């Protein structure tokens, strides 16, 4: 692990390999450890930087307003990197898109895996699925919330827990339990959102964009992947990866690594 002071916060990251730089941005239910199957594979050809976003993992959370997309650019500045490709999963994908919109000259390419998009409003179907699968959960019970989120996101609405590798479920629970604690702390700090948000600006993404999702993910995520691919001028929409849900890099590392190595500049 390496640390740097970025925009007044100590951010933790892993830095491996040489070559064209690639920054990996984790899901909101995880931290940089979710990229454990990608770092070495990509580092054979790239300089790979797996970042803990502010407040997550081993990165700190000073009580001052911040923007995740500005932290990404601040990290590039601190490392002396003019440009990098960004790979994001879920919330990390939304941060990657925001960074590319706010600083298009700093981003060479985007790879979006089950990506969220800032400004997107979840559908009634999404909320109904949560109510059907999960129901009410005590917001103060982090273990119960982690179990609920793993059931919803990592298993997915169309699969049963017994259909998924128990080791993946256990690791996802550990990641999400820590991420939920981070989110509690983050709720007390002002986050600065991209304005206007990305959902109405996908056509501004002029760099190459790779988009895919897990076929077993929640339908809103698959539809978002379709929308990004339809609106970003240079987007490539890979087919949804079969029998995989939201944490694609952990669940299907071989497919993800092959796609990234084929796409990244």
Q: Answer whether residue 34 shows pLDDT above 90.
A: yes
Q: Which of 19, 15, 36, 54 is nearest to 247 (CA)?
A: 36
Q: Which of 182, 52, 64, 69 is nearest to 118 (CA)?
A: 69
Q: pLDDT by residue (tens digit) across 206-258?
A: 999 999 999 999 999 999 999 999 999 999 999 999 999 999 999 999 999 99
Terminal-residue alpha carbon distance, the chain: 25
Q: Residue 140: what pLDDT?
A: 87
Q: Residue 55: what pLDDT?
A: 97
| CA pair distance 22, 96, nearest whole angstrom | 11
Q: Answer whether residue 60 shows pLDDT above 90.
A: yes
The pTM score is 0.97
Domain ranges of the chain: 2-121+190-263, 124-185
Q: Which of 95, 18, 105 is nearest to 56 (CA)?
A: 95
Q: Is CATH 3.40.50.300 what the domain over 2-121+190-263 is classified as, yes or no?
A: no
Q: Residue 1: what pLDDT?
A: 84
Mean pLDDT of 69-88: 98
């Amino acid at each position: 692990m390496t640390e740097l002071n970025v925009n007044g916060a100590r951010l933790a990251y892993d830095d491996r390999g040489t070559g064209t730089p690639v920054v990996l941005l984790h899901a909101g239910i995880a931290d940089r450890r979710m990229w454990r199957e990608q770092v070495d594979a990509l580092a054979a050809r790239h300089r790979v930087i797996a970042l803990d976003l502010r407040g997550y993992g081993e990165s700190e959370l000073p009580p001052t307003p911040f923007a995740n997309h500005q932290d990404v650019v601040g990290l590039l500045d601190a490392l002396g990197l003019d440009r990098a490709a960004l790979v994001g999963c879920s919330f990390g994908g939304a941060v990657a898109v925001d960074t590319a919109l706010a600083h298009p000259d700093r981003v060479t390419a985007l790879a979006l895996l089950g990506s969220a998009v800032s400004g997107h409003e979840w559908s009634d179907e999404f909320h109904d699925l949560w109510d059907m699968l999960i129901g009410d959960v005590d917001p103060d019970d982090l273990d119960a919330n982690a179990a609920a989120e793993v059931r919803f996101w990592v298993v997915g609405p169309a699969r049963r827990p017994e259909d998924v590798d128990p080791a993946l479920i256990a690791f996802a629970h550990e990641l999400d339990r820590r991420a939920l604690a981070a989110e509690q702390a983050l709720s007390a700090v002002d986050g600065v959102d991209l304005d206007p948000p990305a959902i109405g600006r996908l056509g501004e993404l002029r760099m190459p964009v790779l988009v895919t999702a897990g076929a077993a993910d929640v339908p809103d995520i698959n539809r978002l992947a379709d929308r990004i691919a339809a609106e970003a001028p240079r987007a490539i929409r890979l087919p949804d990866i079969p029998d995989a849900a939201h944490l694609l890099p952990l669940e299907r590392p071989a497919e993800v690594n092959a796609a990234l190595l084929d796409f990244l500049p």
